[in-house]
Chain A
Amino acid sequence: SQKIEQNSEALNIQEGKTATLTCNYTNYSPAYLQWYRQDPGRGPVFLLLIRENEKEKRKERLKVTFDTTLKQSLFHITASQPADSATYLCALDDSNYQLIWGAGTKLIIKP
């Protein structure tokens, strides 16, 4: 069955630098891969969706890449700010149109 792996350790980044988070999946390449942000005690909030035929997607300071050969998506935040500190979740559609979720990576941006 499909599994998603995200770094379980928190990622500490200096303000102003680029943060890069990794999402690896184990099985078939999904048609869609999504990234969400979750703050403590809040529901996940959608950030970006990338399709399997897209290599890259951008939205303001965010960039997502999708490499079906490596079975990996990278999520970048450029010019990071303390307000970007949160847990970032990767999710992909399975064959039954359900989202399979990664455990998330906690990002800490230090001023």
Chain B
Amino acid sequence: EPEVTQTPSHQVTQMGQEVILRCVPISNHLYFYWYRQILGQKVEFLVSFYNNEISEKSEIFDDQFSVERPDGSNFTLKIRSTKLEDSAMYFCASRQGQHGELFFGEGSRLTVL
């Protein structure tokens, strides 16, 4: 069964460092998303991506965040200068159409020290 894959599963970084989280969405999907979940809290939307551009972003997705789909398969989230409060689980998700089932990856746990 096709699945969304994310790497790394866990990353520990120092405050102020750049981090890149990688995702490979399901191959025939067209809509891509990044979410984050701080431990014990709800899933929070960061950004959606369609047709090689950002379609929507939340207030959380400020200038320190960026997304890219460099090669037609990978979908990356970059955090330029990490802060302590960026520590969270980051989930990539994709779906075929504008509606319907969202397929999530297993997440990348980011710990900022």
B15 to nearest A CB, angstroms?
A: 23
User: In the complex, are the beta carbons of A43 and B100 less than 8 A apart?
Assistant: no
User: In the complex, are the beta carbons of A98 and B101 less than 8 A apart?
Assistant: no
User: In the complex, are the beta carbons of A46 and B101 less than 8 A apart?
Assistant: yes
User: In the complex, are the beta carbons of A101 and B99 less than 8 A apart?
Assistant: no
User: In the complex, are the beta carbons of B98 and A97 less than 8 A apart?
Assistant: yes
A34 CA / B99 CA spacing, docked (Å):
10
Chain A residues near B99: list those with CB within 8 A.
31-32, 93, 97
Chain B residues near A31: list those with CB within 8 A.
99
Cβ of B43 < 8 Å from any Cβ of A?
Answer: yes
User: In the complex, are the beta carbons of A42 and B101 less than 8 A apart?
Assistant: no
Which residues of chain A (54-95) have a CB below 8 Å from chain B? 89, 91, 93
Interface string of B81-110 (1 = CB under 8 A from A): 000000001010100001111111111010
User: In the complex, are the beta carbons of B104 and A98 less than 8 A apart?
Assistant: no
User: In the complex, are the beta carbons of B42 and A103 less than 8 A apart?
Assistant: yes
Chain A residues near B103: list those with CB within 8 A.
46
A54 CA / B93 CA spacing, docked (Å):
26
User: In the complex, are the beta carbons of A98 and B43 less than 8 A apart?
Assistant: no
Chain A residues near B45: list those with CB within 8 A.
98-101
Which residues of chain A (26-59) have a CB below 8 Å from chain B? 31-32, 34, 36, 38, 41-46, 49
A102 CA / B44 CA spacing, docked (Å):
10
Cβ of B18 < 8 Å from any Cβ of A?
Answer: no
A26 CA / B54 CA spacing, docked (Å):
28
Chain A residues near B106: list those with CB within 8 A.
42-43
Of the A-B pairs whose beta carbons lie under 8 Å apart in the complex, a sample of 20, sorted by A's number, is A32-B99, A32-B100, A34-B101, A38-B43, A43-B91, A43-B104, A43-B105, A43-B107, A44-B43, A44-B102, A44-B104, A46-B103, A49-B100, A89-B43, A96-B56, A97-B99, A99-B45, A101-B43, A101-B45, A102-B42
Closest 8 CB pairs of A and B: A43-B104, A103-B42, A97-B98, A46-B101, A101-B43, A43-B91, A32-B99, A44-B104
| Chain A contact residues, CB within 8 Å of chain B | 31-32, 34, 36, 38, 41-46, 49, 89, 91, 93, 96-104
